[in-house]
Structure 1
Amino acid sequence: MKDSNKSLIYAGLSVLSWSTVATAFKLALRLQTHFEMLLIASCTALVILAIVMTFQSKWGSLTLLSAKQWLLYALIGLLNPAIYYLVLFKAYALLPAQIAQPINYSWPILLLILIAIVSHQPIPRRKYIGMALSLGGVILISAGSGQIQQSAIPVAGLLLAFLSALLWAGFWIVNKMNQNIDNTVNLFVIFLFGSVYLLIASLFVPVNLTSTNGFLASMYIGAFEMAIPFIFFSLALKKTNNPVLINQLCYLAPFTSLFIIHLVLKEHIYTTTFIGLILIIVGIIFNEYFAGSGRTK
């Protein structure tokens, strides 16, 4: 099989995996707290990454990391998975999946703002168009769905979903410092620290892991949100001669996710959600490919 075809298969598997996790979040949260869910998911991801490390004979790469890099990973692991996913899962606990997922997906717009702040460089004027489109989509999803349901959408949930996008953007910036480190090694060390933090926290936070279905759902999240799709997506980028196409395939995930949310969770997908998501994606694509310099990927 040609490498180009392999890359499409790997990318497709990643997109399919990410498309299912919003639904998995809600199913797991019916049976566990957001902390219990993250504890199991993070440890599951760590085990999977350890297996991949063994299969790819990359354990020796850990000895090449400097003390400064280990300290940086200690910070990154606290940011993600520990803080980021605690915030994200709590947002899902408070909001319908069709609202939490698109708002979280607005992170590239927040990344653009953070990069401008960190680099002390102004945002190119044309990129304000994309930012306005995406933020307009967030507002439409946040306000429109509540009005249609004639019920109040928790403000705390909306703020947490937005904060999760901000945290992921911050994680992207910090983790960019490790761009020369192998992707599997990078992910393993991140989840090593994150899992250690969560295990320590479990000594002080009440944990009840008696629900078998909840445990399995959280394991699924660790596998198909945190570990496997990132490994496949990295392989897709290595195999392809068209990385732009591979990156663009990611934009299919939130739309496919809405279909799965409707099918499994029985959430009625409101018109405002769909239109808002389109605005978010269009804004991101505009800034990524049509607004000149200062790309985020």
Structure 2
Amino acid sequence: MKQEHKAIVAAGIAVLSWSTVASAFKIALKYLSSFELLLVASLTGLLFFFSAVLLQRKWTLVQRLSFADWKRFAWMGLLNPVVYYLVLFWAYDLLPAQVAQPINYTWPIVLLVLLSLFTRKPIARKKYVGMFLSLVGVAFISIGSGHDFGGKSVSAFGVLLAALSAFLWASYWIATNKTKHVDAVVALFACFLLGTFYLIIASTIIGIGINSIAGILSGMYVGAFEIGIPFVCFGYAIRTSHNPALINQLCYLSPFLSLFFIYLFLGEQIAISTYFGLALIVSGIVFNSR
């Protein structure tokens, strides 16, 4: 198989993995609390990244990390996986998957605003068009009629949490700019090593009650297909592809495929407002990326 074909296959695996996790979140949250789900998923992700480091013979790169690197990863690990996923899982616990997923997907718009603030460079006027489209899309999804969502009103607090998750993820991506000198897999391993350590310490304080095989398996699925496999595959695709723009564009398929899985596995009747809102969100992101 040619290198470019391998890159596209790897990107396809990542996109397909990310497309299933919104449904997996909701299934796992039937058996586990947000914290318990994060603990199982983070342990799984850590195991995956540790295996990737060994298989790719990158352990020497871990040993070369400086004290300054470990200090940076100490707070990055607190941001991701701990705070980001706690907020995200809490949002999914309160909202229909078809609402939480598209709002979380607005993180590129949030990233644009944060980069402008940090670099003190004004946002190009044309990009306000993309931002407006995405924000209107969020409004459509958030205000979706109660009838559309099974007669249940959408939790305003859940919407706020989903929006906060987008802010946290954008913040994490800004933080990764400080670790560009570190191999991507090694960086993820370091973040999850420290993040999982924080979670284990917290679990001894607050206590956990994981006693469901279904919960453990669904949590492990989240760890593998939200955290482990897609990040490694997507990173490989970006590094090896001659057309990284195409690889990035494949990601836009993920939220739409996710709606199909939400309908298939969760039985949620996808509201018209969700389709329309998601189309606006993605259109705004694509417009700005171009």
Per the TM superposition, whether the score is higher than 0.5 is yes
- The aligned counterpart of 1:196 is 197
- Secondary structure of 2:206's aligned partner: coil
Contact 2:145 2:153 in 1 (8 A): no
The percentage of aligned residue pairs carrying the same residue is 51
2:273 corresponds to 1:261: no
Indicate the residue corresponding to 2:139 in structure 1: 139
Aligned to 1:130: 130
Query: Are 1:145 and 1:273, in contact at CA under 8 Å, matched by a contact in 2?
Result: no
Q: Which amino acid aligns with 2:20?
A: T
Task: Note closer, same or farther for the CA distance 1:177–1:265 as it changes in structure 2 (3 Å cut).
Answer: same
> Would you say how many aligned residue pairs link Structure 1 and Structure 2?
289
Alpha-carbon separation, structure 2, partners of 1:268 and 1:151 = 13
Runs of 4+ that moved beyond 6 A? none
Q: Is 1:285 matched with 2:286? A: yes
Specify every segment of 5 or more residues in structure 1 that has no aligned partner in the other structure, as ranges. 290-297
Structure 1 distance, partners of 2:144, 2:49, is: 40
2:234 aligned residue: 233
Distance in structure 1 (CA, Å) of the matches to 2:146 and 2:182: 44
Deviation at 1:206, TM superposition (A): 2.6
Aligned to 2:96: 96
TM-score, normalized by length of structure 2? 0.98
Structure 1: how far apart are the matches of 2:216 and 2:123?
Answer: 44
| Structure 2 partner of 1:270 | 271
Cα distance between partner residues in 2 of 1:67 and 1:267: 48
CA deviation digits over 1:74-103, x for unaligned, max 9? 010000100000000000000000000000
1:294 aligned residue: none
Q: Contact 2:80/2:172 (CA < 8 Å) preserved in 1?
A: yes
In 2, the alpha carbon distance for the partners of 1:238 and 1:126 equals: 30
For 2:212, the equivalent position in structure 1 comes to: 211
Which consecutive residues of structure 2, in runs of 5 or more, have no partner in the other structure?
A: none
Question: In the alignment, what sits opposite 2:37?
Answer: 37
Aligned partner of 1:245: which letter?
L
Q: Distance in 1 between matches of 2:145 and 2:236?
A: 38
59-68 vs 249-258, which moves further = 59-68
Output the CA distance in 1 between the equivalents of 2:124 and 2:167: 20
SS of 1:32's equivalent? coil
User: Bigger shift: 134-143 or 53-62?
Assistant: 53-62
Q: Please give the alpha-carbon distance, in whole angstroms, between the structure 2 residues aligned to 1:254 and 1:129.
A: 21
